[in-house]
Structure 1
């Protein structure tokens, strides 16, 4: 198994070289030899590692192209490669950061930190305000918000159990909410969800918070609406192009804007938890692909000759749609004792094995 990393983790802490893999290496040591590679790209990885590595773990600062992937001899086999995430890591940190952005917009603490001699004019009370969530969350209700949410992937009826209001269309949420918080992942269906048309459906004087993905918002449309005073303010944690700079881009002259670096996931505890979780996910192979995010393509396109398809976790991880992955784990699914070949016999697929689980939606 290969661990690939730069010495500096973007938007994270500096670690001494001896500590970079101290968390990861002990977990799979009884199953595999672990090779740590301190490199800037996959082109610098030693030939022996490329030839023998069955598992491959990297931080998001390393780019993995198709050409780079083909250099890994074991991972080139037609059985395919499973991509897994670790959805439970840094959930608390990200949720708390989102709440901080919402509170800062209402209380204007950040916006008033420079003119400290002036009264924090424009601060608003939260009780009675409606918070609209694109996705789902529970923390805001404790602050006095009336919560409305839109989440097409969440099981029906949960809103009744929790005493929350659910809408069927995002436009309904925009119209009802005093503050809108984007929490969803980015896909082809919600790209530029907040655009020149939808942003005009927001309430006059509403807030917008984006701690999800930069591609969800058309920043030119947002900048124009901020300059016109149609909404009271916006807070961004994620940007389409990072690192973000106030000196350039559509938002450079926009008023009432809070922008923070991509660090909502980080705490010392979350960093260690994430590193342990990603190696544990690799160690679980081949018994289970519990957090596999490309399962449907993997099963359809690849003949499974080594691992029984029933070893797959029966549910596609629901967090795939909503939570941004931290570290990417990529595993070759062929155990070291099995010779690599393009002519391995296939296991017949049982009728019904590839059906969607009823709770996936």
Structure 2
């Protein structure tokens, strides 16, 4: 039957931008929100009115629903596995909208079939594009799978293009690498005063000539 969520505990693994947004919305529905994020400074729990736990085990023990909002790296591949599922409350829910590799599909499928986990909702999968009719999860009950598209709307598609254009502009005018957001290869950028790059870029527009800041910098270095 139906059950109310007010008073239940939602455990967030990762409290970045998305995790924080989920936390605030969950609080509005009456969830008791706890989180585990070893990379955040002390005090953020007080600023958001959340409860912080300092081990993943504590979060799994206490949560009626576990929601993943962390990045995927070599240390947390298959974070949700046979061992960690056994640490979850019997009948707990699992939500993953972060990275597919965080969850071991075979272990999750078995836990769903055995009723160890009541239900799961996955928007990301270790192997994409995901085929619900193949793989370990094909016969798993109480499972919602979406094709890595929970974000999609016309407005979000427009925002993606606008954000990309904004970051490109930031790079062109020299705001690199320190203030360039979401940059995965900062070590390959050449440092130069932002004012110098901005002036050269502006001049290229006025003179109607092509300009590439990194090419120009490398060219000037060769002359030296």
Q: TM class, shorter-chain normalised?
A: 0.7 to 0.9
What is the CA deviation profile of residues 62-97 of structure 1, one whole-angstrom value per residue up to 9, with x for unaligned ones?
Answer: xxxxxxxxxxxxxxxxxxxxxxxxxxxxxxxxxxxx
Secondary structure at the aligned position of 1:276 is classed as: helix
Partner of residue 4 from structure 2, selected from 105, 125, 148: 125
Moved beyond 6 Å, runs of 4+? none
Of structures 1 and 2, the one scoring higher in RCO (CA 8 A, sep 6+) is 1
- 1:293 maps to 2:186: no
Secondary structure at the aligned position of 1:284 is classed as: helix
What is the CA deviation profile of residues 175-210 of structure 1, one whole-angstrom value per residue up to 9, with x for unaligned ones?
Answer: 100000011121122111101111110000100000
Q: Map of 1:142-291 to 2, 5 A cutoff? A: 142-285=28-171, 286-289=173-176, 290-291=180-181
What root-mean-square deviation, in Å, do the aligned CA atoms of Structure 1 and Structure 2 show? Answer: 2.4
Secondary structure at the aligned position of 1:258 is classed as: strand
What is the CA deviation profile of residues 199-237 of structure 1, one whole-angstrom value per residue up to 9, with x for unaligned ones?
Answer: 110000100000111000001111111111111100111
Which sections of structure 2, spanning at least 5 residues, go unmatched?
197-211
| Change in CA separation of 1:309 and 1:171 when aligned onto 2, cut-off 3 Å | farther
Q: How many residues align?
A: 198
Secondary structure at the aligned position of 1:261 is classed as: coil
User: What is the alpha-carbon distance in structure 1 between the residues aligned to residue 6 and residue 159 of structure 2?
Assistant: 35
Which sections of structure 1, spanning at least 5 residues, go unmatched?
1-121, 312-331, 346-361
| Change in CA separation of 1:334 and 1:251 when aligned onto 2, cut-off 3 Å | same
Corresponding residue number in structure 2 for 1:135: 14
Secondary structure at the aligned position of 2:45 is classed as: helix
User: What is the alpha-carbon distance in structure 1 between the residues aligned to residue 4 and residue 182 of structure 2?
Assistant: 43
How far did 1:151 drift?
1.3
- 1:334 maps to 2:219: no
Secondary structure at the aligned position of 1:234 is classed as: strand
How far did 1:342 drift?
7.7
How far did 1:282 drift?
1.0
How far did 1:338 drift?
4.9
Partner of residue 307 from structure 1, selected from 179, 187, 192: 192
Q: Map of 1:65-104 to 2, 5 A cutoff? A: none
TM-score, normalised relative to structure 1: 0.51
| Change in CA separation of 1:201 and 1:333 when aligned onto 2, cut-off 3 Å | farther
